[in-house]
Structure 1
Amino acid sequence: MPLPKAQTLFGYSPEAPELSKAEVSRRFDELMATIDSLPTRHVGASEVAQAFGEGRGIDFGARPGNAFEALTKALDGPDIAKAMSSDALASVTSALEALKAEQPDLMKDITPSSPIGTGLVAYDLEAPAKMLTPRPTPLRNRLPRKKGIGLSHQFKVISGFTGTATGGVANIHPGIGDTTQTNFAPSGASNALYYARGPKISYAGYDKTVAYSQFSVSDAVTWSAQYAGQGYQDVRQLSRTSLLYSSMLLEERMLLMGRGTSGRGFLGAVAAPTGVALTARTAAGSEVALSGFTTNVYVKVTSDAGDFGQSVLSTAANVGVTAGQVVDVTCVLPAGATGVRVYVSTGASDPGDASRWYAGRVGYNTFTLQGALPTSGVAASTITADTTAYTNGYDGILPICTGPDSGYVNRLNAVLSNTNPGSEWQTAFAALYDAVKADPDRTLLNGSDRKQLSDALKTNSSSNYRMTITQDQLTGVTLGDVVNTIINEVTGKGVAVEVHPWMPQGNAPIISDTLPLPDSEVSDVWSVFNVQDLLGVDWPVTQFAFESSSYWMGALLCYAPAWNGAITGIKKA
């Protein structure tokens, strides 16, 4: 801060309101001469140490906190008072008091918030940005990836012949006698050619065509973002890496729960739920009574199809509600639905879909409305078309395992058994074996559903299971257990229990990786065929941005859907 001018310091005093320039100059020269004549002393390190360490020697006194205090302390010194006239001293003191009000900086310290609000400090910014982005892709990592050509992949299936009891082919008795005659005329021929031979066997089969789809996602980095990030992070590299992982994660979800349209030979859209019913009852246990309602509650639901969409809305259902109650929403879910999404409104009459708000989703057919009713978010009026199936898409593992060609589907709409843990899977294993002699390899679960299965094992009261809690030599105890294998009680094979990170709660596909048929010509039940596997494209610069895209073209194939199954509608415990 600049020093005050001489006119400001000496140009006014109560005794002489108006002074000549000569008098001002004289007073200033008098102050400077006095300051120059003051005795000086150079203090060495030993004297400083002696003064502070032993409490004697030089008395430094309190340091001035700011410019105003420094000037005030100097004027209070005996040497200044002796050397200056009373008029000059009074003039300087008066001027400092006036400057104190006019220039607050005289009173300020340099602190973390002064003289700049954000402080004269360095930023301890750690580079680069931390990537807290989970990106597991277990299906993509496991499934074979094979080369495709053209626009679709085709194969032919012999689904049964006499004696297999599959493919709809009936069994026949092979017994013959000397007089047995069998017609060996070609199929469709009008003449009969009877021979003394055993009866002819029959076959069943079909053609299968799986259309390929194209997939791509893109990203862009503006020049300003790239260049401004220099020294902190390579933003363009971050964009490319994120684009790669995003493509892999989206393909993982397609492999798990994608649905193609029926017009391209896939399963097609999932229908809306039917039989929607509401039941108001007193809140029990840890439930929170409804609030925010007015007379009635109105509900519409959709069939959930996982991450990619939902069906059209169902018809509306309503019920009257009173204080202290919750409302159970039940419905009949169609085949292929991974659960239900609920939209709710309230009023003396139905206010319509624009005021009907998304309330949540579950993986089974019952949803309990409790707590404060939603008043914002996703409105039912935005659900104008089905989004469960996509033209540029294919059927994933979960839709195939719950579809019409699956070997077994059971919608529980209940919690897993506590009295006989794993019995739901044993029923499925038996049904699959009876149908096609299937011997599954693994089952995929949502994390909470696997926990429920493990808890059922730990809490059931039968003596069929034994667990040991181990203790080390000190005080540590290993507590807890988890189901990692279910023994197929039909075949004796261990079926791996795995958590899939993106599995919708309430669903558990049962998967065969291989077939128990050595000459089936099927090395892998599930395979990914790609005309072009995942690649990255950096587009030519046509604007002030670096733009990139990913691209791949292919489809998922299941050669033997009947060797797979699913348990759905697992209610959250």
Structure 2
Amino acid sequence: MALPKAQVLFGDSPEAPALSNAQVSERFDELMKALDSAPTRTLNQADIAKAFGEGRGISFENGPSTAYDALSKAISPEMTKAISPDALASITSALDALKAEQPDLMKDLTTTSPLSTGLVAYDLEAPAKMLTPRPTPLRNRLPRRKGIGLAHQFKVISGFTGTATGGVANIHPGIVDTTQTNFAPAGASQSLYYARGPKISYAGYDKTVAYSQFSVSDAVTWSAQYAGQGYQDIRQLSRTSLLYSSMLLEERMLLLGRGTSARNFLGALAAPTGLTVTARSAAGSETAITGAGANVYVKVTADAGDFGQSVLTAAVSAAVSAGQVVDVVATLPAGATGMRVYVSTGSSDPGDASRWYAGRAGYNTFTIQGALPTSGTAASAVTADTSAYTAGYDGILPICTGADSGYVNRLNAALSTSNPGSEWQTAFAALYDNVKADPDRTLLNGSDRKQLSDSLKTSSSSNYRMTITQDQLTGVTLGDVVNTIINEVTGKGVSVEVHPWMPQGNAPIISDTLPLPDSEVSDVWAVFNVQDMMGVDWPVTQFAFESSSYWMGALVCYAPAWNGAITGIKKA
């Protein structure tokens, strides 16, 4: 253990402030001579072995632990006699000053001392865990075909006499011997009269589906890549994440994409109409509004799913009292997946900057309850329509709810419990009546499929019964699920599937193939790509590794009328 320097012990002593170096040295020599004459004990190997052999061990409890302890212990009565009174006074004064500086040096070594983070190992498991859901069922199922040019085009014969489709009327084919029917062949200037039946008619149209380009990118700085060595390959993580991100975004485009009308797609959603706001007493499990002023002010938009929403409606208000909730009701436009609600409060309307997003509903009613939002996304951020994009195409749900769909029913209610699945039976019958469609599957949000399955258990109809079999008497399996709906019109089983990204309240009804053997349509839905998905590593022009994905294509639906949708399903 090192002793303090001589100047610390003597040079700054109050009793001798002007001591010369020689005097300091002389006093230090006196101290060293006194320390050398102090009694000492040296333990040899025999002493240590004997102590441990007798189970006593070697105790250092009384040994000095700091410089202050060593010097204090050394100043014994014998040593005080060996040095002058002035030197002893200097040492005592210096020791008193040293004592005040010792507390931090006297602490034990613990998990928080001398460092708050501890002198401990960091048990870090490599690599990072990827808790990132990435299902892409539509992308995995739909055929992917080669496209060329700027758009995919095809021609459709939508009807001819007798099909009752395409707007072509039926005619009676009966004739008699004297029947004379005249019609001129194409390009002829005169009509020819023959004993023949009436001429049939056709309907058809051209369809053009424009291609769009898509890309997302990522970058890894050199410092991130090299600092991660030994833990994880950050560049590899970036490339993998970029690939999955591209696939997931394409999946959402296939389901929810919406192109602009300027490119012959469905176009932007209109804002909801008929907005009303009504305060009422909270009922059942509802929570009364808190944080409200005299009034609440509400604006809503038509929800387009993951990619955006319509423009805002005008504000509508209602006076609110203690113990009340507020029902927001609106008429949603065709194609909307629901509505988004923005709310503000006060004696007067504070404006869109203080009107906060309160949530969404999959049908035409949203109940404002609980604490009013005071932060998040403000209505002032909704400055333009984001429901449709120039670089985009129509996805499955917009097509199934669009103008060319074979059937759309906005329920604005929960699913039936008196006749479970009746909503789909109505749709199947309508699709069959319209074009003799025979759908293959229906897609639902998880909570909507649960509601459909629960409708069997809560049905008031005696036609459904659950039976516990003998082998379940001591171990009953709870729960049941609807995985198929039998089409009561055609007798075909329609698969019930949950899509992970389906907005609640919507259930498209899809035909994968047509019940027409010579339709020249092998698949109702197909993806055409001029360039299928690829990855691009950019040249290194700065201290970063940069990558992008790229693809160019569109979703094509050959027969929209063979598909339909049930929307506005109230969440149970």
CA distance in 2 between partners of 1:70 and 1:454 (Å): 80
Shift of 1:126: 1.7
Q: Give matches, 1:276-291, under 5 Å.
A: 276-291=275-290
**Could you tell me how far apart the structure 2 residues matched to 1:87 and 1:280 are?**
97
User: 2:432 touches 2:438 (CA, 8 Å); kept in 1?
Assistant: yes
For residue 5 of structure 1, what is the aligned residue in structure 2? 5
C-alpha spacing 1:192/1:324, structure 2 compared with 1 (3 Å): same
Which of 65, 73, 76 aligns to 1:75? It is 73
Structure 1: gaps (5+ residues): none
Structure 2 stretches lacking a partner, 5+ long: none
CA distance in 2, matches of 1:34, 1:13: 24
Q: Tell me how far apart the structure 2 counterparts of residues 12 and 317 of structure 1 sit (CA, whole Å).
A: 83
Q: Residues 468-507 of structure 1: CA distance to partner in whole angstroms, max 9, x if unpaired?
A: 4468689543211111111111111111111111101100
Q: Which moved more, 1:175-184 or 1:12-21?
A: 12-21
SS at match of 1:174: coil
Residues 223-269 of structure 1 show CA distances to partners (whole Å, capped at 9, x for unaligned) of 22222222222111111111111111110110000000101110001
1:570 offset after TM fit, Å? Answer: 0.3
Matched, 1:354 2:353: yes
* SS of residue paired to 2:38: helix
* Distance in 2 (alpha carbons) for counterparts of 1:182 and 1:20: 140
Q: List aligned pairs for 1:325-340, cutoff 5 A.
A: 325-340=324-339
Query: Which residue of 1 is the match for residue 208 of structure 2?
Result: 209
Residue equivalent to 1:25:
29
Query: Does the 8 Å CA contact 1:10/1:27 hold for their aligned counterparts?
Result: no
* TM-aligned CA deviation for residue 94 of structure 1: 6.9
Alignment CA distance shift 1:514-1:59 (3 Å): same
Change in 2 beyond 3 A, CA 1:39/1:547: closer
1:138 equivalenced with 2:137 (yes/no): yes
Contact 1:65 1:109 in 2 (8 A): no
What residue is the counterpart of 2:45 in the other structure?
42
- Distance in 1, matches of 2:57 and 2:99, equals 31
Residue 272 of structure 1 and its aligned partner are, at CA, apart by 0.3
CA contact (8 A) 2:52 2:58 kept: no
Letter aligned with residue 73 of structure 2: L
DSSP 3-state at the match of 1:398: helix
Amino acid across the alignment from 1:153: H
Confirm whether residue 505 of structure 1 aligns to residue 508 of structure 2: no
What's the secondary structure of 1:342's corresponding residue?
strand
**TM-align CA RMSD:** 2.8
Q: Is the contact made by 1:10 and 1:28 (CA closer than 8 Å) also made in structure 2?
A: no
**How many Å separate the matches in 1 of 2:80 and 2:287?**
84
Structure 1 residue aligned with 2:519: 520
Corresponding residue number in structure 1 for 2:265? 266
Contact 1:13–1:90 (8 Å) recurs in 2:
no
- Aligned equivalents of 1:172, 1:114: Cα separation in 2: 98
Supply the AA of the counterpart residue of 1:292. G
1:492-538 Cα shifts (integer Å, max 9, x gaps): 11111111111011000000111111111111100000000000111
Contact 2:13/2:94, CA 8 A, preserved across alignment: no
Contact 1:176 1:198 in 2 (8 A): yes
Deviation readout 1:426-480 (Å, 9 max, x if unpaired)? 1101111111111111111111111111111112132222334468689543211
Note if contact 1:440-1:495 (Cα within 8 Å) is conserved in structure 2: yes
> What is the TM-score when the length of structure 2 is the normalising length?
0.91
Q: Is the 8 A contact 1:306 1:338 kept in 2?
A: yes
Farther-moved stretch of structure 1 (377-386 vs 18-27): 18-27
Question: Which deviates more, 440-449 or 235-244?
Answer: 235-244
Residue in 1 that maps onto 2:312 = 313
Equivalent pair of 1:440/1:513 in contact (CA under 8 Å)? yes
What letter matches 1:178 in structure 2?
D
Question: How many residues are paired up?
Answer: 564
Q: Aligned residues: percent identity?
A: 78
- Is the aligned partner of 1:301 residue 2:330? no
